[in-house]
Structure formats: C-alpha cells, structure tokens
Amino acid sequence: MASFKEIISGGVPVLVDFSAEWCGPCKMMVPILEQVKKELGEKVKIVKIDVDKNQSLASTYHVQGVPTLMVFKQGKQVWRESGVRQASELVTILKS
C-alpha cells in the first residue's frame, strides 16, 4: 500500500477528507465527494482518512475537527477548510 506521502505527491491534485465514523457532517460529505469525483474523474484523486484509525497523520496535519478537507498538489498543501463544503466550491478549488 502506498504511503500518504506517495499518494499526495502525484501529478494530479489530491483532495483529502479527514473524517470519522461517528461524525454526522462527515457523512454529508460522502455524496458531495462522489459528485466531485464524477465531475473531475481522473483529474483528481480523493482520499478519505479516518482520524480515529490514523491519529498520527491527523496530528501531523493538526486536524482539530472533522470533516477537515485539504488539497495537495505535488506533495504541498495548497488549501484547507473544516466543515461541510459544496461540490461546486471543491470543483472550483481543484481546477484552479
């Protein structure tokens, strides 16, 4: 399995969704992220990280609340927001 560093270092933007099983707003992000993937297809990679199962990764990126969304381009974090975001906003960010 690829490491997180390998995943975020690819040629396409990577949208990382830090979430948790028990989080209501995180569940709301599922259809939104599916819509983003449908719209952008292979132009983006979407990765879901469970903060309870990956506490060290969540800690590394100072994730305080869930959902926290981050966009990485070639290994660098270029955008970050907490809370539910709309698909249109995410698509705009990923295209820029």
Question: Is 26 among the catalytic positions?
Answer: yes
Q: What token pair was written down for 22? A: 């028990």
Active-site annotation holder among 7, 23, 46, 84: 23
Residue of 8, 26, 63, 71 marked active site: 26
How far is residue 2 from each of residues 7, 22, 30, 37, measured CA to CA in Å? 6, 26, 23, 20
Strand partners, 72: 14, 77
Query: Catalytic: 22?
Result: no
- Catalogue the active-site residues: 23, 26
